[in-house]
Structure 1
Amino acid sequence: MSQERLDERTETTCPRCAVGCRLRYDEATGRATGVEGARVNREGRLCPKGIAAFEGLDEDRLTTPLVRRDGDLESVSWEEALDRVASGIERVRERHGPDALAFFGAPRCTNEENYLLQKIARSLGTNNADNRARSCHDATAEAMEARLGSGGTTNSLDDLAEADVFLVAGANPAERQPIAFDRCVRPAVNDGAALLHLDPRANRTTRLATQHLAPHPGRDALAVALLVRAILDAGLEDRAFVAERTTGFDAFARSMERFDVAADAERAGLDPAAVREAAETFGEADRAAVVTGTGIEDDEGTTPNALLDLLLVTGNLGKRGVGMNPFRGLVNEQGASDMGARPDCLPGEAPVSDADARARVAAEWGVEPPAESGRSEPDLVREFGSGVRGAFVLGENPAVNRLDDATSERLFADLDFLAVQDVAPNETTAFADVVLPASAWAEKEGTVTNLDRQVQALRPAASPPGRARRDFDVLADLGARLTDIDFEYDGPPAVFDEMTRVNPLYAGMEYEGVLDGGERWPFSEGESEGQDILHRKRFRTGRQRAPLEPIDVAASGTAGDDRDSGDGDGLVLLTESRVDEDAGSPSARREAATVQINPADAATRDIVDGAQVAVESDRGTVTLRARCTDAVREGTVFAHASVADPLVGEGRTPVEVTQSRLRE
């Protein structure tokens, strides 16, 4: 972004991850600088990603509305572009019904923008509103919502620092969320707390770990089940908590008898003694916390549910320094879902089937949302051209997906109408009938919600370039054109006020309070920030007790699927993240150009460190540089998601790595 456009006096929230550091532009350095005394980065520290937050914001920007004519996108007025969007959506709705429409929000957009998007969708009669952030931690959030009543982190960053043990599962917070990691995990470990790292791949977080449990890919749930079994064998369950706050313990304990620590640890690729040692460390701690990432996401949600069983059995919920804490990666992952930009829930985590919640929304909007759940973004994309005939995409790029390229191209080409609102051209705008130039994060006003439920302010440090407009204004204009309900707002504060009346999680918050440092949900009058710890006396379900559920993973001597376990002749591809906000940075590009492979696997394939190799799955081939390292176990390879996406299908992805025939 050019220096002339930026106001260095404006403090705003970093867009690079979900931690929520405060920063401003520093004209002297041309980079970002932290704000001392901020609620998250109190000492004014920023990670390298945050320092580079203002870089590249003027690159390849869309600056004028575009409409497709005779196959080409042509510049038009805003009036013509918005009329075209409204008529395209209305035409699909009239011909095929409201559920033939899909609306995609995005974590990079504000709470107010995601709220307006889902309000438009539901006012038109469909719950087909979703955002990609939801899929990043979908299994974890679903398990937490079903059993605890909320998918939000159970604890704040402040009180997590009091943990005696951290179990970091499928996450790399030392690299992905370094300010949060250095604030709550590193100091505790330096003071004697234990760090157990459950991940098939060693990474920066492993360097601080007391113990690294590296199961075969796909064996995370089995590893957690063995920890629980070992805790029960040693009598380390919290009997008072189990009696007062759980249900189904006897049946659960009987179900765990089918696991054998010695036999099943070997099948999981773990040392039985190491499993028992980790179980003893976790079970004997007064305060033990779980930190999760996208690495534990599986199709059935087995690993997240197993981790909840581990916490319930040991009494590690509802107090300081404990709990289930998803460390989300993108800036407003939590907020986008909080606002109801998801097909199954209204603003505030209430399911769309909840009549009282629909009535609360209807009282504010004057129209009641549909009672049946919509479809997820992946399912909606698969129905493009058949069940779904029109789509509106806000700050998202759904054309990059886990479908093969030919299928994805056909689906998008088969849509009757597609409108995209974004800052730059991408794979999805290539199919759009209308492209609306949007605002970048440094040009936005509104709020975002970080990984420990703090609602924080975005303040614009610049205006959008050219004829681009702020997303908020565009959505309000479209809502007024498409519906008969009120979309006249005097800025984001007015939407925030409405949202607090519709969304019980944010009830009682005031926009000025968010500007003054932030407020955490759930919020009660008289609290300075909001509740730091959930589930103290009752779970968010409203009940005092949460269920213990058998861990649904195959044990020794039972029928199980051992495919893609990483212990055969083939290799299994691991990825750490679906998409990075900093994927365009030089360091990210250098890292993305490599594939990590164990030296033993490299030797059997005559691959030397630094060689150019072809990584091939049944979906395609990418060419990368080999990095031989013990950080990945035998039978696995690791590549950054920005280059691995063309290879990744559903579930685990078998690949072969061979010396590339391309010229060095």
Structure 2
Amino acid sequence: MSDNQDQSPRAAQTVCPYCGVGCTIEYAGKGKATGTAGPVNTSGEVCPKGVAAFDVVAHDERLTEPLVREGGRFVTAPWETALSRVAAELGEIIDQHGPDAVEFFASSNCTNEENYVFQKLARMLGTNNVDNCARLCHSSTVAAMSERLGAGAMTNTLDDLAETDCLLVTGANPAEQHPVIFRSYVLPAIRNGATLIHIDPRETDTTDAADIHLDVRPGYDIQLLNSMAKVVLDEGLADEPFIEERTTGDAELKAHLRDLDVAAGADAAGVDAEAVREAARAYAEADRAAIVTGMGMSQHTSGTDNVHALLNLALLTGNVGRPGTGVNPLRGQNNVQGAGDVGALPNVLPGYQSVTNPDARQRIADEWGVAPPGEPGLTETTAIHQFGDGVRAAVVFGENPAVTEPNANAAGSAFDDLDFCVVIDLFETATVDHADVVLPGSSWAEKSGTVTNTDRRVMRMRPNADLPGNARRDLDILTDIGQRLVDQADAFDYDGPEAVFEELTRVNPLYAGMSYDGIGEGYQRWPFPADADSGTDVLHSETFASGERTAPLLPISPTPPADAVSEDQLVLTTGRVLQHFNSGALTRRSETLMRMRGEDVLEIHPDDAAARDIADGDTVVVESDRGSVTVSAAVTTTIRSGVVFCTFHYEDPLANALTGDALDPVAEIPEYKHSAVTVRKAAAPTQE
């Protein structure tokens, strides 16, 4: 198989490999990228991460030869040797323990076509044990929105954000994490008079533009959102015609909130009660109010319920199904949305069709010649706890779970309990340290295919660079493994990514009317039915994606965070900054981003610092029951008292060494935003 394209470096419009905004960039020479006028960044804007996108492409630490572990150490090997070992080891484990003994880690950094083939491989082998890192960031958002509305994606478009009269941004910092969205869509709305409400325990660049800031205590979002809903009802601000026509369960929700005390709820959330009332009025009184949500809402053991409480607010005020409204999660990687769309999740097939749905399974069987299993597989967060027991092997494609999973020290040790682990990646990551075979894959700049951005636009990627050394394109690697492991070898015989996409449109109803030619230099947005001329911008306008005319209102009660905080402890919450990207594997190898990054710090409020005799710039030790890290302190009033903040996923300091194993019971997402920690000044080094 070949992409049939010249891979010499050239300026071909493609999609930035970093966040889920979907900016278009191209090679600008001298190892750098420049923005192009594309579907999202219409004026050709690009953020610093996009400019630095080529820093890692030709990096001298790129993996260029397959590695196999012999006698406890890696040696280079021919591709045939490495791939034969992968097929033999996985085949033996499946023969002895069954296909559910293998966990497949898909990649939200890779294309729709690659992820589709990857999940197809898992399912044709007989397991639904396939997941991707959306499990760690937005799975609770998807769970709640899918249950209530029938779709777990942005209800509206980025263009809509510029038309809104009120923006409620909760648990997100788009000014730093999605800067093109902020500059191109959020700021224009504010300039046109929109009110910005920001819910976040920190003051950030997003807060600087806000009219109202609610610095909520991490883990207490439901108390805050229920209090806002109570104000809406008490002050007659609910959209009663919408409630009557488009919702069910309003009597139960109103009864649930009847005795709620707004002041008590605000106090529990750690915010001013009058500010809560002001925010509720601003949101409910706006003609069009839009919610933008991020991982600050989702990464809790109550993450699914957090989003349910948020949905109540939207439905009570009729802010669904119209331009300038809706609930809009911002995706953190360039194909988080697409990886879920194409079925790289353990409970759904392509198009979010349940694996238990016999019609959906038959549709797959008609295409593949074999039906996928009918029971949901293991999420990656649960599978890791079964490594060495029920799960004996892992196939890790473009992810770094030894760093990104919670309780990272334990997660890394769990990988050593596997009988076999194969990793497809660009660099020797922390997960590679635990692998038995490492296959050098392709970077974003060396491949073609499609990705799906945060507002459901499917766009095409085009290669801008050559593969280094003996590395191979990811799609070629995956199809080769499929041909070796699956009896129906022709199931993985594709003439390039376009052929994969054509098959995807036959099994994914959301993509049914799409094509490479139709996408062209622009995009096509799902849902795009086979008989439609175009996709749908605003979801849920007449009926919800569930097919129902109504969506339920649900009474939601708060539950305490899993990590109880003692009197001498603080709450650690984590997040990104502009120059940060996920596990840090790419950031560490980007000269541009490393120059921007500076030193990792622990943000701590002056009152908490003074109580611990910590001064700005001191080295501090942060400890939890899971581990400890050493980092410099940044004493600042931008973080609320009782809470400390640091960036996540760098190997040093490894913040995930501190985070716990507790999971949301519905979405199995970890509680990254609330860890009980002690903070103390590090002992001075002894003099020799």
TM-score (norm 2): 0.92
Partner of 2:517: 512
- Partner secondary structure for residue 50 of structure 1: helix
Partners of 1:606 and 1:6 in 2: how far apart? 57
1:226/1:503 CA distance change after superposition, 3 Å? same
Partner of 2:682: 660
Partners of 1:465 and 1:402 in 2: how far apart? 30
Partners of 1:561 and 1:390 in 2: how far apart? 32
Partners of 1:236 and 1:468 in 2: how far apart? 60
CA contact (8 A) 1:139 1:299 kept: no
Give the aligned residue type for 2:136: S
Partner of 2:574: 575
Question: Residue by residue, what CA displacement relative to the aligned partner does 1:328-367 show, whole Å, maximum 9, x if unpaired?
Answer: 1111000011111110000001110011100000000000
- Within a 5 Å distance, the mapping from 1:430-449 to structure 2 comes to 430-449=433-452
- Partner secondary structure for residue 402 of structure 2: coil
Partner of 1:374: 377
What's the offset of the Cα at 1:115?
0.4
- Match of residue 349, structure 1, among 352, 355, 359: 352
Partners of 1:10 and 1:479 in 2: how far apart? 30
Partner of 1:606: 613
Partner of 2:141: 140
Question: Residue by residue, what CA displacement relative to the aligned partner does 1:114-150 show, whole Å, maximum 9, x if unpaired?
Answer: 0001001000110000111232101111000111111
Partner of 1:647: 658
| Count of matched residue pairs | 653
- Within a 5 Å distance, the mapping from 1:495-534 to structure 2 comes to 495-524=500-529, 530-534=535-539
Aligned-CA RMSD value: 2.0
Of the structure 1 ranges 397-406 and 17-26, higher mean CA displacement relative to structure 2 is found in 397-406
Partners of 1:562 and 1:433 in 2: how far apart? 35
- Match of residue 477, structure 1, among 463, 476, 480: 480
Partners of 1:565 and 1:663 in 2: how far apart? 30
- Match of residue 457, structure 2, among 454, 457, 463: 454
Question: Residue by residue, what CA displacement relative to the aligned partner does 1:617-656 show, whole Å, maximum 9, x if unpaired?
Answer: 2222212111111110100111001331221114421112
- Match of residue 28, structure 2, among 21, 26, 31: 26
1:561/1:415 CA distance change after superposition, 3 Å? closer
Partner of 1:55: 55
1:213/1:494 CA distance change after superposition, 3 Å? same
Partner of 2:325: 322
Partners of 1:447 and 1:464 in 2: how far apart? 19
Of the structure 1 ranges 217-226 and 393-402, higher mean CA displacement relative to structure 2 is found in 393-402
Partners of 2:384 and 2:562 in 1: how far apart? 31
1:632 lines up with 2:631 in the alignment: no
- Partner secondary structure for residue 240 of structure 1: helix
- Within a 5 Å distance, the mapping from 1:373-412 to structure 2 comes to 373-402=376-405, 404=407, 407-412=410-415
Partners of 2:109 and 2:561 in 1: how far apart? 38
Partner of 2:602: 595
Of the structure 1 ranges 426-435 and 584-593, higher mean CA displacement relative to structure 2 is found in 584-593
1:561/1:529 CA distance change after superposition, 3 Å? closer
- Match of residue 10, structure 2, among 8, 11, 14: 8
What's the offset of the Cα at 1:9?
2.1
- Partner secondary structure for residue 579 of structure 1: coil
CA contact (8 A) 2:407 2:659 kept: no
CA contact (8 A) 2:301 2:562 kept: no
What's the offset of the Cα at 1:458?
1.0
- Partner secondary structure for residue 151 of structure 1: coil
Question: Residue by residue, what CA displacement relative to the aligned partner does 1:197-233 show, whole Å, maximum 9, x if unpaired?
Answer: 0111111110000100012121111101100001000
Partners of 1:580 and 1:75 in 2: how far apart? 25
1:546 lines up with 2:551 in the alignment: yes
1:330/1:563 CA distance change after superposition, 3 Å? closer
1:348/1:592 CA distance change after superposition, 3 Å? farther
Question: Residue by residue, what CA displacement relative to the aligned partner does 1:1-53 show, whole Å, maximum 9, x if unpaired?
Answer: xxxx86232111101111011111112x54211112x1111111101111111
- Partner secondary structure for residue 575 of structure 1: strand
What's the offset of the Cα at 1:583?
3.5
1:145/1:403 CA distance change after superposition, 3 Å? closer
CA contact (8 A) 1:218 1:565 kept: no
Of the structure 1 ranges 377-386 and 425-434, higher mean CA displacement relative to structure 2 is found in 425-434
CA contact (8 A) 1:106 1:133 kept: no
1:6/1:43 CA distance change after superposition, 3 Å? farther
CA contact (8 A) 1:105 1:114 kept: yes
Partner of 2:155: 154
1:265/1:145 CA distance change after superposition, 3 Å? same
Give the aligned residue type for 2:282: T
Partner of 2:494: 489
Question: Residue by residue, what CA displacement relative to the aligned partner does 1:226-245 show, whole Å, maximum 9, x if unpaired?
Answer: 00001000010001100010
- Partner secondary structure for residue 311 of structure 1: helix
1:423 lines up with 2:444 in the alignment: no
- Partner secondary structure for residue 258 of structure 1: coil
Give the aligned residue type for 1:573: L
Partners of 2:548 and 2:614 in 1: how far apart? 57
Partner of 2:665: none
Structure 2: state its 5+ residue gaps: 1-6, 662-670
Question: Residue by residue, what CA displacement relative to the aligned partner does 1:86-108 show, whole Å, maximum 9, x if unpaired?
Answer: 11111011100111111111111
CA contact (8 A) 2:266 2:273 kept: yes
- Match of residue 621, structure 1, among 618, 628, 633: 628
Partners of 1:139 and 1:303 in 2: how far apart? 9
Of the structure 1 ranges 261-270 and 407-416, higher mean CA displacement relative to structure 2 is found in 407-416
Question: Residue by residue, what CA displacement relative to the aligned partner does 1:480-507 show, whole Å, maximum 9, x if unpaired?
Answer: 1111222110000000000000111101
Partner of 2:112: 111
Partners of 1:99 and 1:563 in 2: how far apart? 31
Partners of 1:80 and 1:353 in 2: how far apart? 38
Partners of 1:71 and 1:583 in 2: how far apart? 29
- Partner secondary structure for residue 55 of structure 1: helix
Partner of 1:276: 277
1:504/1:395 CA distance change after superposition, 3 Å? same
What's the offset of the Cα at 1:528?
6.6
Partners of 2:372 and 2:348 in 1: how far apart? 11
Partners of 1:565 and 1:407 in 2: how far apart? 22
Partners of 1:491 and 1:39 in 2: how far apart? 25
What's the offset of the Cα at 1:477?
1.1
Question: Residue by residue, what CA displacement relative to the aligned partner does 1:512-549 show, whole Å, maximum 9, x if unpaired?
Answer: 22233111111146867521110111111110000000
Q: Percent identity?
A: 48
Partners of 2:41 and 2:70 in 1: how far apart? 49
1:119/1:11 CA distance change after superposition, 3 Å? same
What's the offset of the Cα at 1:282?
0.7
Partners of 1:520 and 1:492 in 2: how far apart? 19
Question: Residue by residue, what CA displacement relative to the aligned partner does 1:45-95 show, whole Å, maximum 9, x if unpaired?
Answer: 101111111113233111111222222222221112111111111101110
Partners of 2:235 and 2:599 in 1: how far apart? 44
CA contact (8 A) 2:412 2:431 kept: no
Partner of 2:668: none
Partner of 1:557: none
1:421/1:30 CA distance change after superposition, 3 Å? closer
